Amino acid sequence: MLIRKAANPGYSEVTPREIYLNRRRFLATGSAILGGLAMPLAVRAAKLAAAKTAFNAGAEKVTPQNVVTSYNNFYEFGTGKDEPSKNAPKWQPISPWTVRIEGEVAQPKTLDLDQILKLAPLEERIYRHRCVEAWSIVVPWIGFPLSVLLNQVKWTSKAKFVAFETFYDPKQMLSPRQAGIQFPYLEGLRLDEALHPLTLLTVGMYGETLLNQNGAPLRLVVPWKYGFKSIKSVVRIRFVEEQPPTAWSLSWPAAYGFYSNVNPTREHPRWSQKEEQRLGEGGLFNAKFIKTQMFNGYGEQVAKLYEGMNLSRSY
* CA neighbours closer than 13 Å in the CB half-sphere of residue 259: 17
Q: What angle do CA 132, 247, 74 make, to 5 degrees?
A: 60
* CA neighbours closer than 13 Å in the CB half-sphere of residue 75: 19
**What does the pLDDT read at residue 64?**
95
**What does the pLDDT read at residue 55?**
57
**What does the pLDDT read at residue 4?**
32
Q: Residue 56 — very low, low, confident or very high, per pLDDT cuts 50/70/90? A: low
Does residue 12 have a pLDDT over 70? no
Q: Residue 59 — very low, low, confident or very high, per pLDDT cuts 50/70/90? A: confident
Q: Residue 282 — very low, low, confident or very high, per pLDDT cuts 50/70/90? A: confident
Q: How many CB atoms lie within 10 A of CB 55?
A: 19
Distance in angstroms (rounded) separating the CA atoms of residues 186 and 232: 10
> What are the extents of the domains in the chain?
11-306
More confident residue, 67 or 287: 67
- What's the predicted TM-score (pTM) here? 0.84
Residues in the chain: 315
CATH class of 11-306: alpha beta
Percent of the chain with pLDDT strictly greater than 90: 72
Distance in angstroms (rounded) separating the CA atoms of residues 90 and 76: 12
Distance in angstroms (rounded) separating the CA atoms of residues 30 and 238: 28
Contact yes or no for 274/136 (Cβ under 8 A): no
Q: How many CB atoms lie within 10 A of CB 97?
A: 21
Contact yes or no for 151/161 (Cβ under 8 A): no
| pLDDT tens digit sequence for 201-255 | 999 999 889 999 999 999 999 999 999 999 999 999 999 999 999 999 999 999 9
- Please give the C-alpha separations between residue 234 and each of 74, 222, 230, 231, in angstroms, as whole numbers: 13, 14, 10, 7
Q: How many CB atoms lie within 10 A of CB 86?
A: 13
Distance in angstroms (rounded) separating the CA atoms of residues 163 and 246: 8
Average pLDDT, the chain: 85
Signed CA dihedral, 278, 279, 283, 285: sign only = positive
